[in-house]
Structure 1
């Protein structure tokens, strides 16, 4: 039997934003253990390597002992099977996210019928934040200080110069 007290929050997290942090903080209200599963996605151009993302997220969440962070590649359902969990947490920023997330939900349920997905709507002040937009704004010198944790901002400054 698998534990219903654990969940997986998958994503690329490149970079980890305040929107991601909000989903983590809200998730740990109702699960005992949350594993942030950082996808090794070779088809996306990444700002940080998967190992760097794990390191950054671990630093951001160092005061959250119930959160684990690790990388994965391949199918999420295989990761869930291997980690004996059947709960997936996903954040939704807007209605436009729903179609994509619903298709993934349906495929995951087809591959692992007892997998459940819990969708958390983004808080209004985080609803516009996406890692892609944050990277783009930082690249062109815009201020992203309100969109990412301080640790992420410092790491991004090393990549993009002293913007933020």
Structure 2
């Protein structure tokens, strides 16, 4: 079984993230969604809340596992006995940032590979930050996130 890791803060998980995960399942037999603690990002939702939300979105999907982690992503990848990361890229700024990260990952774990997936065109503009901003100002986020996530945003804000 070939397992791939898709890591992020998922604060909250959006339809764009879901699209990347589902597309990754076309290439790999199992996707581990690695929810990063990321204390410096000052997330809206706690790590446990974000894990629970991602689990709810993928409830019943046997080939998707959701796990939280803190520390270095390469250490998590080693623990999961994988060597492959999926990374989503929306913009050239994302590419520059992710290229730098993937170079560092290979320095720390030479056998690791990063695969970059552009978003589906309808999600090219979508980010967790944008969704949080829209929700914060009372906007309708139902086109951007799973209904459960929209409800959680409403409760939180």
* TM-score normalised by L of structure 2: 0.97
From 33, 38, 60, give the equivalent of 1:36: 33
SS of 1:23's equivalent in the other structure is: helix
From 84, 95, 100, give the equivalent of 2:97: 100
Structure 2 gaps, min length 5:
none
Q: CA deviation at 1:48?
A: 1.0
Q: What residue is the counterpart of 2:50 in the other structure? A: 53
Which whole-Å deviations, capped at 9, do the CAs of 1:94-147 have from their partners, x for residues lacking one?
222100000000000111011001111001110111111111111011221111
Q: What residue is the counterpart of 1:12 in the other structure? A: 9
Distance (Å, rounded) in 2 between the aligned partners of 1:22 and 1:67: 13
Distance (Å, rounded) in 2 between the aligned partners of 1:101 and 1:41: 16
Q: What residue is the counterpart of 2:147 in the other structure? A: 150
Question: May I ask how many residue pairs the two structures share in their alignment?
Answer: 157
Structure 1 gaps, min length 5:
none
Distance (Å, rounded) in 2 between the aligned partners of 1:125 and 1:64: 24
Give me the CA root mean square deviation.
0.9
Distance (Å, rounded) in 2 between the aligned partners of 1:108 and 1:38: 17
* TM-score normalised by L of structure 1: 0.93
Distance (Å, rounded) in 1 between the aligned partners of 2:90 and 2:142: 19
Distance (Å, rounded) in 2 between the aligned partners of 1:31 and 1:78: 21
